[in-house]
């Protein structure tokens, strides 16, 4: 399996601290050594850094850890290959354009027998179940809404319906963002934290590194960090109930929908 890291903020923020812990899981403190990637939204623009090498020894990861890129939405992924060989074309996150915005997607899990009909509007380049699911979701959104983006609440409801269809095929933890919002699906394992005033000191799980956020923030800053497993050992992370889809905007959760029936959802929590 893989690990996910996301960030959604109300002001452009760098992810260097969180990425330092996350990077170590790609072959150093954990086994996810089949490549990694990270996407930053800066306004409407997006840049994606990908490397099929383990993140713990990747020169590109070193750059990302040291070069503070300020972004309001970030999606990162370290890979333990399940479907699709180790290679750049199978490295998450994936990017497509829809409605004049870049969309970024990363997945942790495994989908069995997921081979939906493809109308050619969004076609996978690699061989992962993950890119196939991403392309299908975008295809269905365009089919449903045509050439104009709907309001975000309508979009979130549509992504919820599509997530239900895909999640029937297996484990489908994902992060999805178009730069305005970040949607996160906890199929089996995902946690988040919202950092806001009063800010405090945080210490990484994976490395002996701390940061005092009160020294590097302004009082109105708000940052949501989402990760497969908590990145720090002295803060309270919220474990997202398995079978829940989350809409984050401006650094906090806006809405949640269940993606499993009630009893199952409780059983999985």
Q: Which residues are catalytic?
A: 2
At its nearest, how many Å lie between a copy of itself and the CB of residue 123? 4
3 state SS of 239: strand
Task: Specify the residue, 87 or 168, whose C-beta has the smaller distance to a copy of itself.
Answer: 87
**Which range of residues in 118-126, 164-172, 188-196, 236-244 is near a copy of itself by CB under 8 A?**
118-126
Cα Rg of the chain (Å, integer): 17
Q: How far apart are CA 67 and CA 69, in angstroms?
A: 6
Determine which residue in the list 70, 112, 121, 216 makes contact with a copy of itself, applying CB under 8 A.
121
Binding mask 13-52 for a copy of itself (x = CB under 8 A): -----------------------------xxxxxxxxxxx
Sign of CA dihedral 251, 175, 228, 32: negative
Determine which residue in the list 1, 95, 211, 241 makes contact with a copy of itself, applying CB under 8 A.
95
At its nearest, how many Å lie between a copy of itself and the CB of residue 81? 14
Task: Specify the residue, 93 or 243, whose C-beta has the smaller distance to a copy of itself.
Answer: 93
Q: Which residues pair with 94 in a beta bridge?
A: 105
Determine which residue in the list 32, 65, 92, 96 makes contact with a copy of itself, applying CB under 8 A.
96
At its nearest, how many Å lie between a copy of itself and the CB of residue 218? 23
Task: Specify the residue, 60 or 165, whose C-beta has the smaller distance to a copy of itself.
Answer: 60
Task: Specify the residue, 91 or 163, whose C-beta has the smaller distance to a copy of itself.
Answer: 91
Query: If binding is defined by CB under 8 A, does position 119 make contact with a copy of itself?
Result: yes
Determine which residue in the list 70, 87, 112, 153 makes contact with a copy of itself, applying CB under 8 A.
87
Instruction: Supply the angle between the helices 152-167 and 129-145 in degrees, to the nearest 10.
Output: 140
Sign of CA dihedral 206, 209, 212, 218: negative
215 CB-near residues (< 8 Å, 6+ apart):
none
Is residue 138 within a helix (H) or strand (E), and if so which, with residue range? helix 129-145
154 CB-near residues (< 8 Å, 6+ apart):
none
Query: If binding is defined by CB under 8 A, does position 60 make contact with a copy of itself?
Result: yes
In a 13 Å sphere around the CA of 174, the CA atoms on its Cβ side amount to 32
Q: How buried is residue 165: exposed, middle or buried, by Cβ count under 10 Å (0-12/13-18/19+)?
A: middle
Query: If binding is defined by CB under 8 A, does position 101 make contact with a copy of itself?
Result: yes
**Which residues contact a copy of itself (rule: CB under 8 A)?**
42-52, 59-60, 63, 66-67, 87-91, 95-102, 119-126, 142, 146-147
């Amino acid at each position: 399996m893989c690990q996910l890291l996301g960030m959604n903020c109300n002001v452009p923020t760098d992810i260097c601290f969180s990425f330092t812990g996350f990077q170590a899981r790609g072959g150093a403190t954990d086994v996810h050594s089949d490549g990694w990637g990270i996407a930053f939204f800066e306004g409407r623009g997006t840049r994606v850094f990908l490397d099929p090498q383990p993140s713990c020894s990747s020169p590109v990861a070193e750059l990302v850890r040291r070069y503070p890129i300020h972004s309001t939405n970030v999606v990162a992924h370290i890979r333990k290959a399940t479907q699709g060989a180790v290679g750049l074309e199978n490295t998450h996150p994936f990017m497509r354009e829809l409605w004049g915005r870049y969309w970024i997607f990363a997945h942790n899990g495994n989908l069995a027998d997921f081979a939906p009909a493809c109308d050619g509007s969004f076609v996978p380049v690699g061989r992962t179940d993950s890119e196939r699911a991403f392309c299908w979701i975008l295809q269905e959104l365009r089919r449903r809404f045509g050439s104009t983006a709907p309001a975000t609440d309508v979009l979130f409801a549509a992504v919820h319906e599509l997530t239900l269809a895909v999640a029937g095929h297996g484990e489908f933890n994902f992060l999805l963002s178009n730069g305005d919002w970040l949607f996160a699906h906890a199929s089996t394992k995902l946690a988040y934290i919202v950092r806001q005033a009063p800010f405090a000191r945080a210490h990484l799980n994976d490395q002996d590194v701390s940061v005092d956020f009160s020294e590097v923030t302004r009082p109105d800053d708000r940052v949501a960090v989402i990760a497969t497993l908590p990145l720090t050992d002295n803060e309270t992370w919220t474990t997202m109930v398995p079978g829940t889809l989350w809409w984050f905007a401006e650094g906090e959760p806006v809405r949640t929908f269940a993606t499993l029936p009630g009893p199952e959802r409780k059983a999985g929590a």
